Every structure is written in C-alpha cells, then in structure tokens.
Structure 1
Amino acid sequence: MLIALTVATAVAALLLAAWCGFAAFRDQPTKDWHFIGMAVVTLLAVVQLVVGVVQLARGEEPEQGTVIFVAYLLGSAACIPAAGFLSLAERTRWGSITVAAAGVVLAVLQVRLYDIWGG
C-alpha cells in the first residue's frame, strides 16, 4: 500500500469536506467548482483502488484479509461520487453538507485501509 497516496487522498478528502462545509455555512448548494474538487478526490481514490488491486495481483496480502481490504477500496472509490449525485438531487445547503460528510467518511476510510493493510 502506498502510504503517500493514502495520506494524499485523506488530506484531499478533508479539504473537500472543509470547502463544502464552508459553502453549507454560507447557505450555498454545491457548485461546479465543488464538482471539480469531487472529481479530483475521486480520481485519487480510483488510483488507490488500482494500486491496491495491482498489489494484490502481485501476491502481496493485507494483514486483516483480502476481502475486507477490497471492500474498503471499493467503498472508498464510491463514497464521493455517491455524495455528488445526492448533492445534485438536493440543490440546497444540505447537498453541500452531504458532500462534506462524505469527505470526512472518506478520510476515515483511508485510515482504516492503512490499518487493514498492516500499517
């Protein structure tokens, strides 16, 4: 597992959460710039998914089990896009709150992925 990628994904997710949280504080829905931020964070999560699958294919094994590791990788990759779609349906400040919450969830998932791998 690439620790630098895990840290970068977690930090980007927290930055997105702060940004969308600030938008919610200002009573604003998610805007186009927020969706660009979501795309960047999602790209990092997808890169981490690919790296994790490649490491599994090379024969490396997570300390706490392959099935749970893959489940967390898939959940990490799907977290922000799911919140983005929900924020499109809810064009109020609650859409921004949804994305902010998903950013915090993704950061926690990154910590858990690190633990599952054996960090």
Structure 2
Amino acid sequence: MLVALTVAVSVTALALAAWCGFAAYRDQPTKDWHFIGMAVVSVLALAQLVVGIVQLARGEQADEGSVIFVSYLLGALFAVPAAGFLSLSERTRWGSVTVAAGAVVLAVLEVRLHDIWEG
C-alpha cells in the first residue's frame, strides 16, 4: 500500500482532530469549515480505499489477510463521516469533541492498516 497516502490520511486526520479539539476548547460546535475539513479527510480515505482494492486486484497480498484489510479500509472510510453525522445532532461543543475523537480513531486505524499490509 502507498505509505505516502497512509501518512497523508493520518496527518490530515490528526490536524482535523486538533482543529475540532480547539473548537471544543473554545466551546464552539462544528462549523461549515470543519465539514470541509472532514470532506478533505474523507476524500483521502476514499482514495486509500481505491488504491488498496486495486492493489489487491493486481494480486498483492496483505500480510494479515485481505478480508481484515478491506474491513479496516471501510472502517477508515466511514470513521470521520459517521462522527460528522453525529456532530450534526449535537450542536454544542460535544459535536466538535465527537469529530475530534472520530479523527483520532481514523489516525489509529491508519497505523493498524499499515501493520496489516506490511506485517
């Protein structure tokens, strides 16, 4: 799998977590700019899903199994959008906390994806 893409997703997810965490610290809900950031992170996760599936289709193998690898790719794809959806229902600082937590979960999933692929 492309290490550069994994690093890009991780860094942008952590930046989103810091940004939303700062908004929560300032007692602010998620704003439109936060949703644009979530969209950027989600597009990167979608690109990673496509690259991962293409590599599996070309015959490359994940060290810990293709099913687990694809499952983690799907989890990484939906982590931030799910947190963003939940933040819409909670229009307080806790919505920002939810998105920050979802972004941290995505960063952890990226580390695990790298471990699954490389062994």
**TM-score interval, normalised by the smaller of the two chains:** over 0.9
Q: Secondary structure at the match of 1:30?
A: coil
Counterparts of 2:22 and 2:70, CA distance in 1: 32
Q: What percentage of residue pairs aligned between the two structures are identical?
A: 76
TM-score between both structures, scaled by the size of structure 2 = 0.99
TM-score between both structures, scaled by the size of structure 1 = 0.99
Counterparts of 1:5 and 1:67, CA distance in 2: 20
Unaligned runs of 5+ in 2: none
Aligned length: 119
Shift of 1:56: 0.4
User: 2:82 is aligned with what amino acid?
Assistant: A
**Residue pairs, 1:38-117, within 5 angstroms:** 38-117=38-117
Instruction: Write out the 4+ residue segments of structure 1 that deviate beyond 2 Å after TM superposition.
Output: none
Q: Does 1:18 align with 2:6?
A: no
Unaligned runs of 5+ in 1: none
Counterparts of 2:96 and 2:75, CA distance in 1: 20
**Residue pairs, 1:25-44, within 5 angstroms:** 25-44=25-44
Shift of 1:118: 1.1
Render the CA deviation track for 1:62-112: whole Å, top value 9, x for unaligned: 000001000000000000000000000100000000000011100000000
Render the CA deviation track for 1:13-69: whole Å, top value 9, x for unaligned: 000000000000000000000000000000000000000000000000000000100
User: 1:101 is aligned with what amino acid?
Assistant: A
Counterparts of 2:91 and 2:6, CA distance in 1: 31
Q: CA RMSD in A?
A: 0.6
User: 1:42 is aligned with what amino acid?
Assistant: S
User: 2:86 is aligned with what amino acid?
Assistant: L
Counterparts of 1:11 and 1:115, CA distance in 2: 17
